[in-house]
Structure 1
Amino acid sequence: MNRLLSILDRIDRRGYGAYKDLQGSYDLGAFTLFVDRVQRDPFAPPSLVRVRTKSNRFPSGLYGNPVRRVAFEDFLTRAVEAAVRRVVRGNRGSGGSGRVEIQHPSQAVLPRTSMVVTGDYVEARMAVGLPARGRTVDARAARAVLLEELPEVVRRSLVPGGIDEGAARRHVETVEDARHLRGLLPELGLVAFVADGAILPRESGASDRPLRQAAVPFQSPEELRVTVELPNRGELSGMGIPEGVTLVAGGGFHGKSTLLEALSRSVYDHIPGDGRELVVTREDAVKIRAEDGRSVAGVDISGMIGDLPGGRSTSDFSTPNASGSTSQAANIAEALEIGTSLLLVDEDTSATNFMIRDERMRELVRKEPISPFIDLVRPLHATLGVSTIVVVGGVGDYLDVADRVILMEDYRPSDATPRAVEVRRKFPPRAPLGEARVRPPEDRRLRSSSIDLRRGKRETARGKGLSTIELGRERVDLTYLEQLVEPGQTEAIARIVGDFVAGTGSRGVRSVVEKALASIERDGLDSLGSFRGHPGQMSLPRAHEVAGAINRIRSLEASTG
């Protein structure tokens, strides 16, 4: 502490660059402060620091296995964020002076770089805007941040007595139950489970927090109710969605898309009180949509779209500007390429000519290369074991291919399968449905040399918010990767891409992604860090979003075979 005070006294009122002298570690009694990277000026991204307790006095039961450790680190991250809001005064001076922050978590529970819990210590990774007057050091304000506010944050969030241990235990047990429940899905023959009492609607389109007022708690239809035993909660009942083809129907604003959106986000565990904490989906589920204008590089879509005019093959399809139908076909092929057991499709965000073609159009348009999705869903399950949940509001022909139909009315589901059978008898198909041949798409090889990370004299691979990665001078739009939930995932993806580009030669998409995630599983997210000590703010992405980001790089060159 004396050394830290001495340095601050010495650099007071000097140019902002003098803060570089702070880099290093300081014993502050109850914890050690590490200053890993100092910002170059008060308007630059904040400095990176770590605070590490001298011991870990929390009960080992809170972090005694990998699932509980991730959940407890998530809980402590939220506790630090809450303590910062209560304790830290905030901006005082130029730029971001006095700002203290830790990685902001979503409603999901993910492995992050924000917190490390071991048997020996607890470490929080934070960002601090070192205070300035103009562009000079403000040592007095820096002392307040580093020696008054940070110690109080530690006392309130990183040691027993500072947190509610009962709440911490509920947090880790809820996550453990959800993980156990998701693991039960394959042996139960289910692709998803929605607990009775779940709150599925969100408070707004811009918020992932649960709707608090007027939300209708979910109740399973008796025909689909499943009861399971969880390790902490005990018996739980809810709606089980079986493998195969499930149709979710209903009028507008009755909860169809809300259910599908909840299922797409439930590939992740959620915090207690989220409303979806006991809603789980197969962890490899992929939401599919049309994506006009996206680039496609060397994807085999021939199982869905035949040869194009002029004899152009679709077994190695590339375009800088895909149509709705070709983009949706590419999205399915890419999902199959990386591996999935469940596709989630919403009629509202799909290409109409890809979803269905009625008898009049079949009669009028004889040269149609598209095999409509309605002809694919059953072969996908029968041949490849890939189930589909389809939300429809206006295409009744999908009743003919559904194994079951869930009808949403006033946010309440019912099993409408018997009623759908009656409707099919009353209104039989006007033309026989086709059944396209389905096979796995051909694997592709990616050329790392096609991606240029150069930006002036530097190479850049970084995340910019939730929906963009910056690779050199190219900005990659990830808006339609709807299962991304945190900017930290986007940052991790950018660094994975950067590591791939640093390699040589060409490799398959699946090989690139599996190698990267295996390395993270072995060495942790810290292995993607660009600074010694503090790795930056990252969250673990799924293989599907890593592959999805790579597939959307416009400069990417890839080919089958």
Structure 2
Amino acid sequence: MKTDRDLARQLASIERRGYPAYKSLRGSYDMGGFTLSIDHVQGDPFAAPSQLSVVVPARTAGFPRPLFDAPHRKVALEDVLIRRFAQAASRVSFKVGGSGKSGLLATSRPGPEVLARSACEVSRDGLITLRFEAGLPAHGRTVDARACERMLLDLVPRCVDEALVCDDRALAVAQRAVDLADDQQAVRDELGRLGLVAFVADGSVLPRATGVSAKPLKGARPFASPASMRVTIDLPHRGPTSGMGIARGITLIVGGGYHGKSTLLRALQDGVYNHVAGDGRELVITDATAVKLRAEDGRPVHDADISLFIGDLPDGRDTHRFSTEDASGSTSQAAGVIEALEAGARALLVDEDTSATNFMVRDALMEAVVSGEHEPITPFVERVRDLWEQAGVSCVIVAGSSGAFFSVADAVIQMDRYEAHDITERVRRVCADLQAPQTPRAVGFALPQRERRVRIFGIKPQVRGGRRGSDARIKVRVRGLDEFSVGGGSVDVRLVEQLVDEEQTSALAQCVRCAAARGLLDGAHTAGDIVATLYAMIDERGWSAWSEHGDASCGLALPRPQELFAALNRWRATG
């Protein structure tokens, strides 16, 4: 392997040459305590930054094995290392100047969620691989070798020493993060034993600073569980911890406008992920398979069996194999339920405000005016009990205007000025006093039995120089949290609400590209087979399994299988 001296000599030899001369640096260099790899070099200083990585041996890094000897601990430690390296890099980024992105040093910058990311991997023996971006310095489009030498031989080693080598401070930060991950994992393990969909610890801060901020609201009222719903879980580090346990079954969240109903539901939908200390929702833990449902007018639906909710359409279309490029609100939500079940959801989260009214309920007066024989939609309220009792799927529903769900709910939580109250018994008394009619159950409950196969059109390699083979490339573009495209098709994910990080969207795009490249989208494989294959690949080979050129780079975060199902189900061919 070449050394840091070789790198310095190579840099000197390309001083003031054209920017493409930087490509001669590709390779690995022994920097003494770690290895620096220059994996991909940008085409010019204004292009996307170069991709680099450092590999720090376990004996140099020195983080104790108990910090990464279980999957949840490993992810927590990796998250700490990414954040530390990002902070160190931000202090020296652009210390050397130049054109375009010259001098940039950066890696992933995580939000409050703790996600597995391609930016860092800790191996079983404690070896650390940290991937980052660098803007190799230039004046105009001419190599600035002296500035690059300072960046690669001085600033990068400084970041490695500050972020990836264990000292007392790093050990304390990592230990706190791993201890929290232990506690979070303990709650997740207890959900099943206690028969809970979710747990919201007393003292949690649920409101966010603004509608577009992930930071907790300063001065917000800490959450307190109703006494009747309080459970106590003995955590390995925090000890006995009390909070509200939402039991499996059907839970209704009600209350006036702006009293915290949707805030609680949002915390629950984000509770499928672990959060960092200080977020306020560290111990808001939800069944990891829970799916937030909503209406998505205009989304495509592919070969979905929505007959549980919609049948006998006037145009005669078969709702056992329903497809459309422009679904209505009710049809999209019906498809969303079926797709969530296909993705293994054990709990559904629904907010009346973002649902199609005619999908959720149908009152007696409407039934009297438009008889059931003329209405193809079976409302969700008439299926929700059977979803729980026959399929074992729980539901947490926010309702603010319709009382139709009262008679089918197992528990009712009222949010009053952000305080939670268990009003289940009061609701039952009121319903009895008013002789409120029982919501009927629709007949003929049967979940789809066939395994839906996925066939996606429009993904074709972009051919360079008129040749295929190694010169063919499937083009991928990602537009934040909203959309991604692969080849000649795209996926709109802006209403897939449990995607929380742009790097998850990037990972979904690479998943679809990877599946297409391996012939998994030809209609011969089920969605479950495709998802299982892709996750098995990353389990066996790490992030390189989903990388286009075999070398992993920073910029990907692991989505849940449920969001990969959602992406496959929303494919729209555009080419």
Structure 1 contact 453–498 (Cα < 8 Å) conserved: no
Q: Which moved more, 1:239-248 or 1:332-341?
A: 332-341
Structure 1 contact 299–444 (Cα < 8 Å) conserved: no
> Which runs of 4 or more aligned residues in structure 1 lie more than 6 Å from their structure 2 counterparts after TM superposition?
none
Residue 254 of structure 2, aligned match among 249, 252, 271: 249
Residue 145 of structure 1, aligned match among 134, 148, 151: 151
User: In 2, Cα distance between the equivalents of 1:245 and 1:426?
Assistant: 22
Counterpart residue number, 2:335: 330
SS at match of 2:567: helix
Counterpart residue number, 2:26: 23
In the alignment, does 2:502 pair up with 1:487? yes
Structure 2 unaligned regions, length at least 5: 465-472
User: In 1, Cα distance between the equivalents of 2:335 and 2:358?
Assistant: 15
User: In 1, Cα distance between the equivalents of 2:174 and 2:337?
Assistant: 40
Shift of 1:231: 1.7
In the alignment, does 2:554 pair up with 1:531? no
Structure 2 contact 270–498 (Cα < 8 Å) conserved: yes
Counterpart residue number, 1:420: 427
In the alignment, does 2:493 pair up with 1:478? yes
Shift of 1:451: 3.6
Shift of 1:116: 2.0
User: In 1, Cα distance between the equivalents of 2:107 and 2:450?
Assistant: 40
1:364-403 residue pairs with structure 2 within 5 A? 364-366=369-371, 367-403=374-410
Counterpart residue number, 1:433: 440
Shift of 1:163: 4.1
SS at match of 2:415: strand
The residue type paired with residue 466 of structure 1 is L
Residue 16 of structure 2, aligned match among 7, 13, 35: 13
Cα shift readout 1:536-560 (whole Å, capped 9, x = no counterpart): 421111111001001111239xxxx
Structure 2 contact 544–550 (Cα < 8 Å) conserved: no
Structure 1 contact 196–239 (Cα < 8 Å) conserved: yes
Shift of 1:90: 5.2
Residue 83 of structure 2, aligned match among 75, 78, 86: 78
Cα gap change, 1:436 to 1:43, in 2 (>3 Å): farther
- What is the identity percentage for the equivalent residue pairs of Structure 1 and Structure 2? 45
SS at match of 2:420: strand
User: In 2, Cα distance between the equivalents of 1:445 and 1:507?
Assistant: 8
Cα shift readout 1:191-223 (whole Å, capped 9, x = no counterpart): 100000011111222222222x12111110000
Structure 1 unaligned regions, length at least 5: 557-561
TM-score under structure 1 normalisation?
0.95
Shift of 1:53: 2.1
User: In 1, Cα distance between the equivalents of 2:449 and 2:304?
Assistant: 8
Cα shift readout 1:40-82 (whole Å, capped 9, x = no counterpart): 1112111111112243312222222222111101111111111
Structure 2 contact 107–554 (Cα < 8 Å) conserved: no
1:201-220 residue pairs with structure 2 within 5 A? 201-211=207-217, 213-220=218-225
Counterpart residue number, 1:272: 277
SS at match of 1:164: helix
Counterpart residue number, 1:47: 50
User: In 2, Cα distance between the equivalents of 1:478 and 1:406?
Assistant: 30
Shift of 1:120: 4.8
The residue type paired with residue 536 of structure 2 is A
Cα gap change, 1:365 to 1:46, in 2 (>3 Å): same
CA RMSD, 1 decimal: 1.8
1:189-204 residue pairs with structure 2 within 5 A? 189-204=195-210
User: In 1, Cα distance between the equivalents of 2:251 and 2:550?
Assistant: 49
Counterpart residue number, 1:543: 561
Counterpart residue number, 2:321: 316
SS at match of 2:405: helix
Structure 2 contact 132–553 (Cα < 8 Å) conserved: no
Shift of 1:393: 0.8
Shift of 1:533: 3.9
Structure 2 contact 458–489 (Cα < 8 Å) conserved: no
Structure 1 contact 108–271 (Cα < 8 Å) conserved: yes
Residue 72 of structure 2, aligned match among 50, 67, 75: 67
Shift of 1:525: 2.5
SS at match of 1:235: strand
User: In 2, Cα distance between the equivalents of 1:460 and 1:179?
Assistant: 38
Residue 135 of structure 2, aligned match among 129, 136, 151: 129
Counterpart residue number, 1:559: none
Shift of 1:447: 4.7
The residue type paired with residue 197 of structure 2 is V
Cα gap change, 1:449 to 1:349, in 2 (>3 Å): closer
The residue type paired with residue 372 of structure 1 is P
Cα shift readout 1:448-467 (whole Å, capped 9, x = no counterpart): 45242344644223533223
User: In 2, Cα distance between the equivalents of 1:166 and 1:353?
Assistant: 54
Counterpart residue number, 1:513: 531
Cα gap change, 1:360 to 1:229, in 2 (>3 Å): same
Structure 2 contact 230–243 (Cα < 8 Å) conserved: yes
Cα shift readout 1:88-109 (whole Å, capped 9, x = no counterpart): 3357222211111111212111
SS at match of 2:11: helix
SS at match of 1:33: strand
Cα gap change, 1:335 to 1:447, in 2 (>3 Å): closer
Give the aligned length: 555
Cα gap change, 1:436 to 1:266, in 2 (>3 Å): farther
TM-score under structure 2 normalisation?
0.93
SS at match of 2:244: strand
Shift of 1:518: 2.1
User: In 1, Cα distance between the equivalents of 2:38 and 2:565?
Assistant: 35
User: In 2, Cα distance between the equivalents of 1:62 and 1:133?
Assistant: 44
Residue 160 of structure 2, aligned match among 149, 154, 166: 154
Residue 175 of structure 1, aligned match among 181, 189, 195: 181
Q: Which moved more, 1:215-224 or 1:532-541?
A: 532-541
User: In 1, Cα distance between the equivalents of 2:528 and 2:454?
Assistant: 13
SS at match of 1:84: helix
SS at match of 2:55: strand
SS at match of 2:254: strand
